[in-house]
Amino acid sequence: MRDDVFVIGVSMTEFGVFPDRSVPAMTTQVVREALADAGLDASRVGAAYFGNTGQGLLEGQTMIAGQLALREAGLSGIPVVNVENACATGSTAFSLAVTAVLAGTAEIALAVGVERMNIGDRARTMSLFDGASDVHRPDLLQQELIDLGGDVDLDRVGTRSPFMDVYAAFARAHMKAYGTTQEQLAAVAAKNHRHAVHNERAHFRKDMTVEEILTARPLAPPLTVPMCAPLTDGAAATLVCTPGVARRLDRKGVRVRSSVIGTGVRRDLHDYSRHVTRRTATRAFDQAGVCPEEVSVAEVHDATAFGEVLVSEMLGLVGEGQGGPAAVRGETTLSGRIPINPSGGLESKGHPLGATGLGQIYEIVTQLRGEAGVRQVPGARIGVVENGGGYQHGEEAVAVVAVLEG
């Protein structure tokens, strides 16, 4: 087995609402752009991992979506694996591509994620989220959310994904445990909206104040609409390769120090020490041989502003209970101690489920190459990506953490 892998090519479409862009068309775009970024021909790719969560339900294309889309993109005759792992689908495809190179089954492997969520039927799109928790025990989900965040009246709030109720319950539990406030959540969201102004690929590029976010339409208490990720279309791709291939190419390679997939264990709902993201992050940092204090920049899964608060703590980037105060103090801004989500995060950049994790990889690679322009983190050397998804017993059903070095 090999002991090193490099990211050598990345690409990402603009994220937004594009009902006329098909899954194969977006796939073709990002595959060709990633190959061009690396300076490679499609014939060099030895394996491909295709991430998508919604095409089966929303379009009826099941089982061979990757084979169909990738052949249109010019890739055929190689192993193609279809990947679906909740909102962590894209980063799971990335981890599998890394594993293929480490195992020696391919010198160059492709991870691509693509999602077309805006199909003109919002109710159908929203139903996609229903299967991301145990459909056989909906009563268990509701009871656990009450146990976490109390029994609140949600009848008067607007249409929303059930995961906004999940994140809202997570947030209320954290508020009770640590004194986190709605104003702190708004500070996280305001920071991310401000970052996205400088990201030409972001879904939303409007600067918003804390007050504007607090007074916006309520979604699920304590969350308001600008604190939550929109329904987004888009695609992203990453090429990984052996050190030998990386040395022969002109493009700067970014070293993959680790890429770890984790799932939960039995724990008390309020026990953060055994949270899936904390356990996965510990393994990722151990494998990478670095500590959280060495991280220059992070992209984390902020499907809501509270998601960033919790993940920043579980990664060890801030102390437990300090995610909200750190945002208020400006520690997580571009000019702060530990910049988080310079892309604007899911709240502003958007959340095309199968592409999200690879969009995060795109941002971190761009940062580590020193090519992020106005949103560049000076001297970025170590980047971390965290991508989670689904719900199982009080936490995400899956978490993926990757550590990259420029």
Tokens of 223: 């969350």
DSSP 347: H
Q: How far apart are CA 361 and CA 326, in angstroms?
A: 24
**Is residue 110 within 8 Å of 49, Cβ to Cβ?**
yes
CB proximity list for 21: less than 8 A, separation 6 or greater: 116, 233
Contact 199, 16 (CB under 8 A): no
Burial 348-362 (b: 16+ CB within 10 A, else e): bbbbbbbbbbbbbbb
Query: Which among 229, 312, 327, 310 has a CA at the least distance from the CA of 272?
Result: 310
Longest dimension (CA), the chain: 60
Beta bridge partners of 76: none
Handedness of CA 260, 337, 14, 222 (dihedral sign): positive
Residue 228 annotated as catalytic:
no
301 is catalytic: no
3-class secondary structure, 6: strand
Which candidate in 174, 193, 351, 393 is catalytic?
A: 351
Task: Out of 87, 174, 193, 195, pick the active-site residue.
Answer: 87
Token pair 């969009």 is found at 359
Q: Where are the alpha helices (DSSP H) in 233-351?
A: 243-248, 276-288, 305-314, 323-328, 345-349
Strand partners, 49: 81, 111
Q: CA nearest 181: which of 207, 214, 154?
A: 214
Q: Strand 108-115 to strand 47-51: parallel, antiparallel, or no bridges (unpaired)?
A: parallel
Catalytic (active-site) positions: 87, 351
